[in-house]
């Protein structure tokens, strides 16, 4: 397992987290989580603008809907159109279609 000895001023500190210094040794691994923060930002803004989730059920519902929305967006699809088509199929057949698989966009 990965264990990095980190030197603080005047002392050595053993890092208890094996992934802590991965960005130092692995090219392409960022030193921050800005990409992840940008990915969840739309959900946070919607939650803020709708005056927060008012219950656990509301929070769970928003989490599911935003997960579907972001997945479709990352696959380069129009989330509103795809969800509307899925609901139409559900009303006609009683079953939801599988999520369409398309190329992943950097959204």
The pLDDT of residue 93 is 95
Q: In terms of residue numbers, what domain contains 50?
A: 34-93
Q: Return left, alpha or beta for 51; rule: phi > 0 is left, psi -120 to 50 is alpha, else beta.
A: left
Q: What is the pLDDT at residue 24?
A: 77
In total, how many domains does the chain have? 1
What single string gives the DSSP state of each residue in 18-37? TTTTHHHHSTT--SS-HHHH
Domain-embedded: residue 18: no
> Among 8-12, 15-19, 21-25, 86-90, which stretch is predicted with the lowest mean pLDDT?
8-12
Is 81 inside a domain boundary? Answer: yes
**Tens digits of residue pLDDT in 42-95:** 888 888 877 777 888 888 888 888 888 888 888 889 999 999 999 999 999 999
Within-domain flag for 104: no
Does residue 52 lie in a domain region?
A: yes
Asked whether residue 61 is assigned to any structural domain, the reply reads: yes
**Residue with the larger pLDDT of the pair 7 and 86:** 86
Residue 57 within a domain: yes
Asked if residue 27 belongs to a domain, the reply is: no
Residue 67 placed within a domain: yes
pLDDT tens per residue across span 34-53: 888 888 888 888 888 777 77
Q: How many Cα atoms sit within 13 Å of 36 on the Cβ side?
A: 5
Contact present, 54 and 79 (Cβ < 8 Å): no
User: Would you place residue 15 in the very low, low, confident or very high pLDDT band (cuts 50, 70, 90)?
Assistant: low
pLDDT for res 106: 53
Give yes or no for residue 2 having a pLDDT over 80. Answer: no
Has residue 10 got a pLDDT over 50?
Answer: no
């Amino acid at each position: 397992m990965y264990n990095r000895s980190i030197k603080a001023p005047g002392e050595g500190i053993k890092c208890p987290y094996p992934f802590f210094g991965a960005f130092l040794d692995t090219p392409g691994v960022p030193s921050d989580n800005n990409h992840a923060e940008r990915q969840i930002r739309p959900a946070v803004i919607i939650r803020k603008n709708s005056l927060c989730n008012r219950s656990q059920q509301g929070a769970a519902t928003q989490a599911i809907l935003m997960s579907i929305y972001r997945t479709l967006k990352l696959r380069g699809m129009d989330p509103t159109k795809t969800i509307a088509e899925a609901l139409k199929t559900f009303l006609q057949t009683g079953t939801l279609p599988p999520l369409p698989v398309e190329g992943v966009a950097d959204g």
